[in-house]
Structure 1
């Protein structure tokens, strides 16, 4: 079976499951986000372990990123019928940071201590502390209306990746389209043509649905056309930067796929690389728009 066929089959199975979990309740939403963060951090730690001598921290990374994502949910309040818990994110990270410092001092040789610590801490910092903010775009209750901003950025990065992949694979280099490498030292197969095509599709998608969703009251801020386009540009730029960041991590560690959770697609960091940078960025920009109002 070809890789493309595997990718399509996996997508047809995984996408309905993801949307069901997002629709069902805050328990299923937060559970999905915590699980994905934990697996993503596990994959990061596995790649980092290849480069520096030290203990296997995949279990610690899994637990740390899961805990930080859950802490963001608790800090917001409303989930699980609980009020907001103050300082829970900062206190959780301090505990995690102390544990990593202790492991580094006890188990890592001095020649590898600092690079090992920086790269291993990158998993909970990026996936949990930064990426975990995606739960702040969700609410409690059943229905998609409780997570429209989240779905918007998720579908936006999926669309950008899909259009860029198919355009770069089947159109770039043919007819009027050239084939110019986008980042040859990081991801040789990516092209400027695919990037531009994916960006145009994503900006149009995000701008249209952000404006429509805001009109229906699904956002906590009014969004005019200029703001909607700004959100679209942010999603496509941050998404592609996140994609390149994970590609650089894989190339640096000599890893083809970060994992094998999704057959034909790879692991969480292969599928959610764009999302983990774009979702928190979108949340912060929307929060900025809200404070301007």
Structure 2
């Protein structure tokens, strides 16, 4: 079976499950986000362990990123019928930071201590502390209306990746389109043509949904055409930057796929790499526009 056929079958199975979990309740939403954060951090730690001598931190990374994602949900409040818990994110991270430092001092040789610590801390820092912010765009209750902003990010990243992949694979280098490599030292198959095509599709998608629907009304900020285009541009730039960051991590560690959770697609970091950067970027922008307005 070809890789493309595997990708399509996996998508047909996985997409309805993801949307059901997003629709069902705050428990299923937060559970999904915690699971993805934990598995993503597990994959990150596994790649980092290949490069520096030290203890296997995959279980610690899983638990740390899951805890930070859950801490973001608790800090917001309204989830699980609970009020907001103050300082829970900072306290959780300080505890995780202390554990990693203690583990490094106890188990890692001095020649590898600092690079080991930086790369291993990258998992909870990036996936949990930063990427875990995506739960701030969700609410409690049953229905898609409680997570429209995240769905907008998710579908935008899927659209950008899909258009860039197919355009770069089948159109770039043919007819009027050239074939200029986007980041050959990181991801040799990516082209500027595919990136631009994906960006245009994403900006159009985001502009329509941000301006013509209630997808971002939860933030209370007025969305005009200019701000909608800016939001679309932010998402496509942040998403592709997140994609390149994970590609660089895989190339640095000599890893083809971060994992094998999604047949034909790879692991969580292969599929959700763009979410971890784009979703928090959207939340911070919308929070800024809300306060500005």
Q: Tell me whether the two structures share a fold, i.e. TM-score over 0.5.
A: yes
Provide the residue aligned with 2:203 in structure 1.
Answer: 203
Q: Which runs of 5+ in 2 are unaligned?
A: none
Kindly tell me: are residues 131 and 52 of structure 1, through their superposed partners in 2, closer, same or farther at Cα, counting changes over 3 Å? Answer: same
1:211 shift after superposition: 1.1
Provide the residue aligned with 1:26 in structure 2.
Answer: 26
1:184 shift after superposition: 0.3
Alpha-carbon distance in 2 for matches of 1:23, 1:179: 41
1:208 shift after superposition: 0.6
Alpha-carbon distance in 1 for matches of 2:216, 2:108: 54
Per-residue CA shift, 1:76-126, capped at 9, x if unaligned?
000000000000000000000000001000000000000000000000000
1:31 shift after superposition: 0.1
The answer to whether the 8 Å contact 1:258/1:269 transfers is: yes
The answer to whether the 8 Å contact 1:164/1:194 transfers is: yes
Provide the residue aligned with 1:254 in structure 2.
Answer: 254
The answer to whether the 8 Å contact 1:213/1:219 transfers is: no
Provide the residue aligned with 1:15 in structure 2.
Answer: 15
1:136 matches 2:103: no
1:222 shift after superposition: 1.5
1:276 matches 2:246: no
Provide the residue aligned with 2:96 in structure 1.
Answer: 96
- Secondary structure of 1:166's counterpart equals helix
The answer to whether the 8 Å contact 1:61/1:124 transfers is: yes
- Map 1:1-293; keep pairs closer than 5 Å: 1-214=1-214, 217-293=217-293
Alpha-carbon distance in 2 for matches of 1:253, 1:66: 23
Alpha-carbon distance in 1 for matches of 2:36, 2:142: 21
The answer to whether the 8 Å contact 1:72/1:135 transfers is: yes
Kindly tell me: are residues 115 and 215 of structure 1, through their superposed partners in 2, closer, same or farther at Cα, counting changes over 3 Å? Answer: closer
In the superposition, the TM-score normalised over structure 2's length comes to: 0.99
Alpha-carbon distance in 2 for matches of 1:218, 1:68: 23
The answer to whether the 8 Å contact 2:68/2:92 transfers is: yes
1:215 shift after superposition: 8.2
Kindly tell me: are residues 219 and 260 of structure 1, through their superposed partners in 2, closer, same or farther at Cα, counting changes over 3 Å? Answer: same
The answer to whether the 8 Å contact 2:209/2:215 transfers is: no
Q: Matched residue pairs, number?
A: 293
Give the alignment's Cα RMSD to 1 decimal.
Answer: 0.9
Q: Which runs of 5+ in 1 are unaligned?
A: none
1:216 shift after superposition: 8.7
Alpha-carbon distance in 2 for matches of 1:291, 1:34: 28
Per-residue CA shift, 1:145-179, capped at 9, x if unaligned?
00000000110011000000000000000011000
The answer to whether the 8 Å contact 1:34/1:65 transfers is: yes
1:219 shift after superposition: 4.2
Alpha-carbon distance in 2 for matches of 1:214, 1:220: 10
Alpha-carbon distance in 2 for matches of 1:218, 1:94: 31
